[in-house]
Structure 1
């Protein structure tokens, strides 16, 4: 195919070739990520959450079983 003579197409191609991150963002001098001070603690299982998980499992099994 021939290349387009439209300058806008050339600009789009140049934008696609640019890097997403600068060297300052990912290089050795980049700032390290701040450690999270709050740890995530597991909570007790509620009946509502367990019911929705069970419903999702049953629906998934039903869809797979009817599809086969």
Structure 2
């Protein structure tokens, strides 16, 4: 393999290569109070999964 077959020059990827700047810190999320709609969907999901597990348990017995 000759040097012309390489995709990158050694100067681009070696220890002398330019360092990339660090990524900025992500913004912190502030906790908030849950809305009634979100709580309703969580409760609906819990009830649905309980019904599925109960149904599976009845079929397995």
Q: TM-score, normalised on structure 2?
A: 0.54
Q: Does 1:40 align with 2:32?
A: no
Moved more, 32-41 or 47-56: 32-41
Structure ranking higher on relative contact order (CA contacts 8 Å, 6+ apart) = 2
Change (3 A) 1:53 1:30: farther
TM-score normalised to the size of structure 1? 0.49
1:8-65: per-residue Cα shift (whole Å, max 9, x none)?
A: xxxxxxxxxxxxxxxx5xxxx7636513252111111100000000000100010011
Could you tell me which runs of 5 or more consecutive residues in structure 2 were left unpaired when the two chains were aligned: 1-12
Equivalent residue runs for 1:17-32 within 5 Å: 31=20
Query: Is 1:60 the counterpart of 2:49 in the alignment?
Result: yes
CA RMSD of aligned residues (A): 2.2
Computing the radius of gyration from Cα coordinates, the structure with the larger value is: 2
Q: Number of aligned pairs?
A: 41
